[in-house]
Amino acid sequence: MAKYLSFLLLFILLSGCSQKEKVVEVIDGDTFKTANGERVRLLGINTPELSEPGGDIAKDYATLLLLNKNVELKGDVTDKDDYGRLLRYVYCEGRFINGELVRLGYAETRCYPPDTFYCAKLKELEKNAIRNHRGLWAFRVFQLPDTLPGSGHKRTNFGKKAISWRDAGKYCGQIKTVVGRIVASNNTGRVCFLNFHRNWKKYFTAVIFSSDYDKFPPNPEDHYLNHRVRVTGLIKEYKGKPEVILKSPSQIEIID
C-alpha cells in the first residue's frame, strides 16, 4: 500500500509540474534547446554521440520530431544534470518523445535512480525494438542488454578469439572478448569505470551504468579491481578511446 501511495504521489507531481516550450535547436538525438535558452536532456534514454556511428541518424529523427515545435516538458526527481541541462520527459503532438525514440530503435534505455518513473515502460519498448531489429538495433551500435553476442551464444564460444586490452582500439564496432587486468577503478555513483590502464583517458575501459548496478556484485569498483578479467561486448570509441559497456555480469569474468 505504501509503495502504491508513493507511486501515486509521484504521478501527481509529474502531472502537475509541467511546462510548455518551443524547440529552436536540436543538439543531438537526446538534447535540444528551447526558445528561452534552456538546454533539455531527455530522461531515461541515451542516443549515440554525434561522433559515434548512428549519432547523425538519431539527431535527424529527433529533429523531425521536435524542431520548431511546441513541446510539453515534465520532470522527475532531479531537475538538472551536472551540465545544467533540464532533465525532462518530453511530449509533442500527442507523442511521448523519449519513448518514441526508444520504440523505433534510435535510442537505448538508460535510467538513473532516482529518475525512474518511466523506466519500466521504456525498457519494454526497448525489448520490442531489439526483437524487431528496429533502427540502430539492426547495426552494431548499442550493446544488447543481458545478452551476449549472437543473442544466446555462451561466452565459451568466444574465448578462443580473445584479444589483449592493448589491441581493443583496433576493433571498434565489433563484438570481441578482451582480456586484461583491472588496474584502476572509479565509481561516481552514476557510472563505474573499470580501467585496464591508469591513463584511463586514453586506454580501454569497461563501463557499468548505475541503472545496471543491481545486476552486479556490490561495489563493482572493488570487486573487480586488481583482477585479471575477460570482458565480452561491443567495442565502441568514446572520446578517442575504446570501451565496452557492461549491461550484464555475464559479460565479465574473473580469470585469475
Give me the active site residues, please: 41, 49, 85
Q: Please give the grid coordinates belonging to residue 56.
A: 547523425
- Residue 5, judged by CB atoms within 10 A of its CB (0-12, 13-18, 19+), counts as exposed
Distance CA(242)–CA(61), nearest Å, equals 27
Q: Please give the grid coordinates belonging to residue 27.
A: 543538439
Q: Please give the grid coordinates belonging to residue 172.
A: 571498434
Residue 126 near residue 109, CB atoms below 8 Å = yes
Q: Please give the grid coordinates belonging to residue 138.
A: 539492426
Per-residue 3-state assignment (H helix, E strand, C coil) for 151-170: HHCCHHHCHHHCEEHHHHHH
Q: From 218, 140, 235, 141, select the one nearest 180 (Cα to Cα).
A: 235
Distance CA(244)–CA(70), nearest Å, equals 37
